[in-house]
Amino acid sequence: MMVTPAPQCQLYLKLPRQLSREVAAALEQTNASTEIACVLLAESDAALDLAEGSEFVRRTQEHGIAVLVENQVELALSLGADGVHLADAEESTYAQARARLGNAAILGVSCGENRHAAMTLAELGADYIAFGGPPLDSERRAELIAWWSEIFSVPCVALDVEDAEEAARLAKLGADFVVPSESLWLTKDAASKLSEIAASLAQARSAA
């Protein structure tokens, strides 16, 4: 598993595949002030420089941060990543990815709002279940996070979190990890916003 489940919530960052200087700076500044559990390299049609990507993975892992790749199992293996995140996973897709990656790799899944799929994939061995992303609205996502955390021990991830207030609310509802919205990386003050989210999670942990 990515992290042993605990009464706390951590940052999980979804990063653009082609990392800009601004994104790299925001990541470095945030990591200096708080622990980031995991980063996910978003799926992209653009080709990735394997040498550059492998170096990013290695340096990130040296900080104790897991690195996952979205959907692309072979790329994850080539980069030396810790595992894969499957968007809108199905049983067959999960089984194929697990067979290729092995049991030691992290394999997380997004299930939209499909409770049955979430339960099935957790039983198959998914390391975490993620809720969020279009067309799921924030209230429905919060409902799913609360439901899951009350019943299951497999960690749950809240996707597309917009701000610190929302992050704190989801942490209190039982989210193990929150993923800030990808739109954050388009802003000039990404590092500041990440720090605000991190601070809100720290407050939620203190209050737990």
73 pLDDT band, cuts 50/70/90, is very high
Q: Is the pLDDT of residue 100 over 90?
A: yes
Quick one: what percent of the chain has pLDDT higher than 90? 64
pLDDT value at residue 13 = 94
Mean pLDDT of 16-40: 75
Least confident of 51-60, 73-82, 165-174: 51-60
CATH number of the domain located at residue range(s) 10-207 in this protein: 3.20.20.70
CB of 48 within 8 A of CB of 75?
A: yes
Predicted model pTM: 0.91
Mean pLDDT of 62-73: 94
CB of 30 within 8 A of CB of 60?
A: no
pLDDT digits (tens, 9 = 90+) for 131-144: 998 888 999 999 99
pLDDT digits (tens, 9 = 90+) for 160-200: 999 999 999 999 999 999 999 988 888 888 888 988 999 99
3-class SS of residue 190? helix
Q: Which has more confidence, 2 or 10?
A: 10
In whole angstroms, how far apart are CA 123 and each of 46, 116, 137, 143, 194?
34, 11, 26, 21, 33
32 pLDDT band, cuts 50/70/90, is low
pLDDT digits (tens, 9 = 90+) for 104-155: 999 999 998 999 999 999 999 999 999 998 888 999 999 999 999 999 999 9
Other CB atoms within 10 A of residue 13 CB:
24
pLDDT value at residue 204 = 84
Strand (E) or helix (H) holding 100: helix 91-101
